[in-house]
Amino acid sequence: MSLETRNPVGSAKRVGAVAAPASAPGWYQRRRTREAMLIACFLLPSLAIFLLYRILPLAWNAVLSFEFWSPLKAARFAGLDNYAEMFFEDDVFWQALTNTLIFIMASPVAILLALAVALAVNSDLKGAAIYRTIIFLSYPLMSVAVGIVWRWLYDERGGFINFVLRGTGLITDPIPFLQSFGWALPSVILADIWQVIGFYMIILLTGLQSIPQHLYEAARIDGAPASARFLRITLPMLRPSLFLCAVIGILNSFTAFDLVYVMTGGGPAHATELLVTHIYNMGFGETRFDYAAALTVVQFALLVILTFLANRAVGGNAGSVESA
C-alpha cells in the first residue's frame, strides 16, 4: 500500500510519520526527545549484546589479521603478510576454499530435493503428516550424532551401505567412502544434505501452504497446465522461502565444522577440509591466531558477497512476501 494519501484539495501528505509543526513548541520537542530516549532504552540491551558478542569480536578479528600475534609475544604490525601467505603459499587454503564452494553448490541440490519432498507431503498423499515428521526428525539431531551415525554407515568393513551394495551384487570390493580422496567430500556432503533437508522441507512447506489456493483455481480456469502453475505461481510465490533456504545453505556450508570434524577431521589429505576446519586447525592446532583471523576475514567477506548475490538472484527484495 502506498504511504501517500491525498486530501480533498490534492496536496500530498505522508501518513505514518508525524510531521513537526512549522514552529514546534517546546513541549512538542520535549515529547519527541522523551520518545527517542524511551526507544533507545528498549533497544540498548539488545544492541549491547550484539556489540559485545558480534561487532567487537569481528573488529578485533579484523585488526588481528593485520598483525603478527601470539599469546607469548607482543603484537607487531604485519600489513598484508597474512593475506599474502594465504593467497600465494597456502595450498590448503585453496583446497578448503574449493571444498567450501562445492559444499555451497550442493545446497541447491538439497533445496530441490526438499522442494520435491515438500510438494509430495503437501499433496493429498496418505500419511503425509507422518512422512513430514519423519523427514524433519533428522534436523534437530546433533551434528556430532549425525556424523557418528554416517561414519558407521560409510564404514569400509562393517558399514551398512557397503553391506547393502555388496549384498545386492552391485560392488565386489567395499568402497572406502571416508578414506578415499574422491569419495570423502561427496560422502560428507550427502550426510549434510540428509541432516538439513528436513529443515528446508519445513520452510518450503510453510511457503507452499501460504500460497492462496484460489490462485491455482484461477490458473486452472485460465487454462494454465500443471507445469505452468508450478513455474508461474508456485516458484515465484516461494521466492522468500527459497531465498531463506539458500542463505541457510550458505551459512551451513561455512559452519559445517562439527560434521566434518567428526566424520573425517578434514582428511584424507585435506579432501574434506573446509575454510572453517582450516581456521580451527590454524588457530587451535598451530596456535596461529593471526593467520586464522585473516582466514576468518576472507570467509566473512565471502559470506557477505554470496548472501548479496543470493538476494540479487531472487530479485533484490527477497525478504518481502508478495500479497495481492
Q: In the complex, what is the shortest distance from the CB of residue 222 to another protein, in angstroms, rounded to a whole number?
A: 4
- Cβ nearer to another protein, comparing 5 with 29: 5
- Cβ nearer to another protein, comparing 23 with 227: 227
- Cβ nearer to another protein, comparing 1 with 22: 1
Q: In the complex, what is the shortest distance from the CB of residue 226 to another protein, in angstroms, rounded to a whole number?
A: 11
How many C-beta atoms surround the C-beta of residue 197 within 10 A? 22
Q: In the complex, what is the shortest distance from the CB of residue 19 to another protein, in angstroms, rounded to a whole number?
A: 24
Crossing angle of helices 91-121/239-254, nearest 10°? 150
- Cβ nearer to another protein, comparing 123 with 317: 317
Q: In the complex, what is the shortest distance from the CB of residue 236 to another protein, in angstroms, rounded to a whole number?
A: 4
Q: In the complex, what is the shortest distance from the CB of residue 217 to another protein, in angstroms, rounded to a whole number?
A: 5
Query: Which of 200, 234, 220 lies closest to 107 in space, CA to CA?
Result: 200
274, 260 Cβ separation under 8 angstroms: yes
C-alpha cell, 209: 501452504
166, 174 Cβ separation under 8 angstroms: yes
For the four alpha carbons of 304, 308, 311 and 317, in that order, the dihedral sign comes to positive
- Cβ nearer to another protein, comparing 13 with 32: 13
> Residues 49, 52, 58, 62: what is their CA dihedral angle, to the nearest 10 degrees?
160
- Cβ nearer to another protein, comparing 138 with 241: 241
Give the three-class secondary structure for 14. strand
Interface with another protein (CB under 8 A): 1-2, 212, 214-215, 217-225, 228, 232-233, 236-237, 239, 322-324
Contacts 24+ apart (CB under 8 A), 210-217: 210/237, 210/321, 211/237, 211/238, 212/324
Q: In the complex, what is the shortest distance from the CB of residue 212 to another protein, in angstroms, rounded to a whole number?
A: 7
